[in-house]
Amino acid sequence: MAPEPPSIWTTSIPNESPRLVIVCIVFLLLTTAVVSARFSWRWVHRQRGLDDVMCLCAYTILLLATIFAGVSAHYGFGKHMRDIKPTSSKAVQFFYLYQICYKLLGMFTKLTFSFLYLRIFNQKWFHRLVKSIASIIVLGSLAFTLATVFTCIPVHKVWNRKIPGRCTNNTAFWFSHAAFNTFFDVVIYILPMPMIRTLKLARGQKLGLISIFSLGAFVIAASIVRMVMLRGSALTRDPTWGSVQALMWTEIEGNTSVIICCLPALRVPFLTAWHRARGAGRRPETPPQMMRAHHHRDLTWDGPHQSTSEAHHLSAPTRAVQPNVPAQGKASPTSGSGESKISRSTDSWYRQILHSVNRDDMEEAEPITRVLSSDQQPAATVEHQITNEPNVLELGMGGIVKTTDVHVSTTQITPRIPGRALTLQEFLGDGKGS
């Protein structure tokens, strides 16, 4: 019967295992929530790409690494080897498996960003640059992974030092990988900054995108702290105790890197939630007399999607119509034909709208006039005011007719195709649409 290791939560001996387990559980739950949100959003909107595959691989590797860390803590990792002699080899063995997963995790998180850049940026020179950097990351990460697997020859000498054989210098090897990993973290996170600055976006949108990618600074900070902890871990003769701090920071770094991978894909749902929280999702009702104060937006509306392509605002000129408003208490001689007048006026209104759409060469709309409703005014002839806004059309109808702005897009709106990858325009949406 195999000997039972001391309890993870024991307080009878020096014990860092509880801290390690708590860090693993808390960060894994947080990472799982963020990853689930990413894939749920993209699945519902039928958006898939190679960056999603890389992110899924990174999360899978992280999950395996966290399991190995928990099993290692179960066998006594976080305690002195003298207190866990019967199970110390098992604790070191699972710590060794954790290190292999960590090397692969760094590769997949960086590849997630690389494929994201390839998907949203179209410049050929930038594609060549990203592919070159990604190739170096893959080759370097695989080389470090193989070196970790064969840290000792034979391999089982890693957890049983009594076996004859040889092992690499942990100090030089661990620091070289930490330098490689941190350097390419910096490269990957600053790579899109020049491209974002050249985009024709509002300043707020640019700052929002830059801030998302700048969150990679948290991963870099965790990598630097981990490098500080590595020296004590590499030089210790008590690996189950001396390496626990480095392992905790490695777990923090790994979870943080996967979370940062998901944030660009979650920009739109985060903005949508933010707008709803601030009440931006509810459009306040505008009284008719305040409609003229609104500025016309240079947008084209086509069904459920908005296109930010350039649009021309066209409005047909109309002339002021002086209707005969009956005096109070007197019947109008033309009151019997009111319905026919309304019908003719409505037809005239539609003809004017169609005429304005067909006049593509018109640069500016001429002033149009507005008639107040006869039931809103006392008896007397209404004086008509000339307005510069095209959203209220004056007709000889004896009432106010509100019209929407007429827009003609100069570019064709391409419908969304199910299963198509997210484009740069959709990626940079303001979060108000799906």
Assign 386 to helix, strand or coil. Answer: strand
Residues 352 and 258 in one domain: no
Residues 364 and 257 in one domain: no
Phi, psi for 315 (deg, rounded to 5): -145, 135
Phi, psi for 18 (deg, rounded to 5): -60, -40
Q: Mean pLDDT score of the chain, rounded to an integer? A: 74
- Do 249 and 229 contact (CB within 8 A), yes or no? yes
For 390-434, what is the HEC assignment?
CCEECCCCCCCEECCCCEEECCCCCCCCCCCCCCHHHHCCCCCCC
Four-CA torsion 298, 303, 306, 308, nearest 10 degrees: -50
Domain membership of residue 368 as a residue range: 312-324+339-410
- Specify the CATH number for the domain of residue 215: 1.20.1070
Residues 250 and 371 in one domain: no
Assigned domain for 216 exists: yes
- Do 119 and 130 contact (CB within 8 A), yes or no? no
Assigned domain for 292 exists: no
Residues 6+ apart with CB under 8 A from 365: 313, 314, 315, 316, 317, 356, 390
Assigned domain for 162 exists: yes
Assign 26 to helix, strand or coil. Answer: helix
Residue that is written with structure tokens 């240079």 in the block: 298
* 200-232 core/surface letters (b: 16 or more CB in 10 A; e: else): eeeeeebebbeebbeebeebbebbebbbebbee
Residues 259 and 390 in one domain: no
Specify the pLDDT at position 345: 53
Q: Angle at which helices 88-120 and 124-149 pack, to 10 degrees?
A: 170
Assigned domain for 304 exists: no
Residues 231 and 362 in one domain: no
What tokens appear for 414 in the block? 């391409």
DSSP string covering 239-282, please?
HHHHTHHHHHHHHHHHHHHHHHHHTGGGHHHHHHHHHHHTTTTS
Residues 94 and 160 in one domain: yes
The amino acid that residue 136 corresponds to is I
- Do 257 and 218 contact (CB within 8 A), yes or no? no
Assigned domain for 399 exists: yes
Cα→Cα distances 10→5, 39, 102, 167, 323, Å: 11, 39, 28, 33, 93
CB atoms within 10 A of CB 14: 11
Backbone region of residue 348 per phi and psi (left: phi > 0; alpha: psi in -120 to 50; beta: other values) = alpha
Assign 370 to helix, strand or coil. Answer: strand
Assign 301 to helix, strand or coil. Answer: strand
Assigned domain for 332 exists: no
Task: Split the chain (434 residues) into runs of 10 and give each run's mean pLDDT.
Answer: 79 93 96 94 87 95 97 95 92 96 96 92 92 96 96 92 89 92 92 80 74 80 87 86 93 94 82 74 47 39 36 41 45 48 53 54 43 42 43 41 41 50 53 44
pLDDT digits (tens, 9 = 90+) for 37-53: 999 988 888 888 899 99
Residues 233 and 347 in one domain: no
Residues 268 and 367 in one domain: no
Specify the pLDDT at position 286: 46
Residues 88 and 182 in one domain: yes
As for how many domains the chain has, the answer is: 2
Residues 84 and 179 in one domain: yes
Residues 25 and 171 in one domain: yes
